[in-house]
Structure 1
Amino acid sequence: MEWILLVLIGIVGSSLGSLIGLGGGIIVVPALLYLGSLSAFGYISPQVAVGTSLFTMIFTGLSSTLAYLKYKTVDYKSGLIFLIGSGPGSIFGAWVTEKLDLDSFSLFFGLFIIFVSLVLYFKDKFKPIPYRKDKGIARTFTDNNGKTFEYGFNPAIGILISLVVGFLSGILGVGGGSLMVPTMILFFFFPPHVATATSMFMILPTSILSSITHITLGNVDWMIALALVPGAWIGAKVGVYLNSKFKSKTIVLILRTILIVVGIRLIYQGIIG
């Protein structure tokens, strides 16, 4: 019974994560911590929950990226440029974690994420950060409803912003997609489908690097991971399929809802300490 439950958690977390580009940790980590309170599973520390979740995200990222190839929604060049900033930023953020009062920071960061979710409601009233098409990244994309998007950015600005996003994500371990997806949509006018697929592509290398650290620290429960991985692989395919069927507005709505959940969780952590 426990194994079936873990597989289902992997499927649900990965489906939602690949649908909106957040990876799946938002479901898997709290679920593992809850299961750790049940006698049948034994104690699961927060470090093990995070480490095991990050390991399974390798397979979520790989499975969803391969699936998104079919729909040609992954912007590889932009994803690699963002990784130049978000990779070092997340590492530095994890290091700074030891120096900060995380309770008060979680509270304010939770409020900020809820603010971002509300801003997404008015995204059509925003203007993208100016860039020169002849010296920057310029793209066009037509979604499954025939709507054409034009988007792009200056690489230097993209790296700088992704550095800040990676830093903030690394401090709290909320996953880069929680901020990177809305950043791509709001600042660079990425189509939601492309922002999601590109985020999942970025999650693959970052989860590999993070997992190596957690494996060396002994923070991966291999028995739990063995049950989660098949679900994560299947769930990623399900999430990509749903993403291809949903309208852009639907994806943004789901993203906004999940960001509010993340924000409330951070506020709660900040209050209870």
Structure 2
Amino acid sequence: MDVLTLFVLPALVGVVIGIMSGLLGIGGGTVMVPIFRLAFGMSPVMSTATSLFAIIPTSISGAASHIRHKTCIVSLGVAAGLGGALTSPLGVWLAQISPAWLIMVAAALIIGWSAVKMLSKAFKLRAQKRAQQEGAGASAEAGADDADPAPAAADPAPRKLTRKQLLIGVAIGLGAGVASGYVGVGGGFIMVPLMLSLIGIEMRQASGTSLIAVMILAIPGVIEQALLGNINYTAGIAIVVGSIPGAVIGARLVRVVPELALRFVFGGFLIVAAIILVLNEFGILG
């Protein structure tokens, strides 16, 4: 294989993944697994292993940013990460003994779920935008009658979690670790909603806390995949190299590109990718 196929194309894919991550805050695993499988022809196990390998440096970069800006709960992230570190090798082992089609079906279900969530949020954002536009006139009139505008709400003081909440975090990590090792995704799709519902942290803290957990829980799974010889290091490193400038570009495009349209387009892309992944695995595409 030539340099273009080995490094340049994966690096370009990494740029796209980085841009999407910077714009939408999505994890790269949902994109990398189908691309590795469909575009680069990797086996299901190698696709998930290489994705898991590439997730670690990107999650470290994201987690460092959240820690710096204090938009995460470090203790909870570490607790969930340690829980996931115990079970991510189990996910890798399950992938080794599972039929290839089952791994890809599981990955397709996760990708499809992520797409549905993205599209659902897009519809909500569109409804909110319409409501704001319709109420703009009334709000302006009401504002004219008020002499003193209400002060902006201050950020809540940092919370110290109880031992019970941290143990719940460990339990959440246990489940995320299995999923991460099995299908090569970070596990945020499990951790974020459970941290919100079971522990009660704020949404703005959940993403960063999840990234802290991911950078910890993925390590044992990657080590096991490396020992088994399942990782395509060239493609994985190229993806990471491309995703770094891509994330910077994405962060700068946030104020320029309409998020609503982007969510609809990318959500649709993920649904198509999930469907093709399943059809390809069962030989329906030829």
Q: Normalising by structure 1, what TM-score?
A: 0.65
Aligned pair 1:58/2:56, yes or no? yes
Q: Which has the larger radius of gyration?
A: 2
Q: Call closer, same or farther: CA 1:56–1:104 in 2, change over 3 Å.
A: closer
- The aligned residue for residue 31 of structure 1 is 35
Greater RCO (CA < 8 Å, at least 6 residues apart): 2
Residue 8 of structure 1, CA deviation: 2.1
Alignment equivalent of 1:81, drawn from 79, 82, 85: 79
Distance (Å, rounded) in 2 between the aligned partners of 1:55 and 1:82:
19
Distance (Å, rounded) in 2 between the aligned partners of 1:258 and 1:199:
21
Residue 80 of structure 1, CA deviation: 0.8
Q: Call closer, same or farther: CA 1:46–1:203 in 2, change over 3 Å.
A: same
Deviations 1:172-227, CA, capped at 9 Å, x for gaps: 44431121122223333333332111222222223332222222222222332342
- The aligned residue for residue 144 of structure 2 is none
Q: Quick check: 225-234 or 24-33, which moved more?
A: 225-234
- The aligned residue for residue 72 of structure 1 is 70
- The aligned residue for residue 137 of structure 1 is none
- What runs of 5+ residues in structure 2 fail to find an aligned partner? 122-151
- Asked if the contact 1:9/1:228 (under 8 Å) is kept, the reply is yes
Q: Call closer, same or farther: CA 1:223–1:155 in 2, change over 3 Å.
A: closer
Q: Call closer, same or farther: CA 1:93–1:104 in 2, change over 3 Å.
A: closer
Q: What SS is found at the alignment partner of 1:92?
A: helix
Q: What SS is found at the alignment partner of 2:53?
A: helix
- Higher strand proportion (structure 1 or 2): 1
- The aligned residue for residue 192 of structure 1 is 203
- The aligned residue for residue 204 of structure 1 is 215
Q: Quick check: 230-239 or 261-270, which moved more?
A: 261-270
Residue 104 of structure 1, CA deviation: 10
Distance (Å, rounded) in 2 between the aligned partners of 1:209 and 1:262:
30
Q: Call closer, same or farther: CA 1:20–1:216 in 2, change over 3 Å.
A: farther
How many percent of aligned residue pairs carry the same amino acid? 26
* Aligned residue runs from structure 1 range 138-177, under 5 A: 148=155, 154-177=165-188
- Higher helix proportion (structure 1 or 2): 2
- The aligned residue for residue 48 of structure 1 is 46
- What runs of 5+ residues in structure 1 fail to find an aligned partner? 38-43, 122-144
- Asked if the contact 1:32/1:49 (under 8 Å) is kept, the reply is yes
- Asked if the contact 2:46/2:230 (under 8 Å) is kept, the reply is yes
Q: What SS is found at the alignment partner of 2:189?
A: helix
Amino acid at match of 1:6: P
Aligned pair 1:12/2:16, yes or no? yes
Distance (Å, rounded) in 2 between the aligned partners of 1:191 and 1:263:
32
Q: What SS is found at the alignment partner of 1:175?
A: coil
Distance (Å, rounded) in 1 between the aligned partners of 2:249 and 2:73:
20
Residue 13 of structure 1, CA deviation: 2.0
Q: Call closer, same or farther: CA 1:242–1:92 in 2, change over 3 Å.
A: farther
Distance (Å, rounded) in 2 between the aligned partners of 1:187 and 1:64:
24
- Asked if the contact 1:86/1:164 (under 8 Å) is kept, the reply is yes
Distance (Å, rounded) in 2 between the aligned partners of 1:188 and 1:259:
31
Distance (Å, rounded) in 1 between the aligned partners of 2:35 and 2:220:
23
Q: Quick check: 76-85 or 12-21, which moved more?
A: 12-21
Q: Normalising by structure 2, what TM-score?
A: 0.62
Q: Quick check: 4-13 or 169-178, which moved more?
A: 169-178
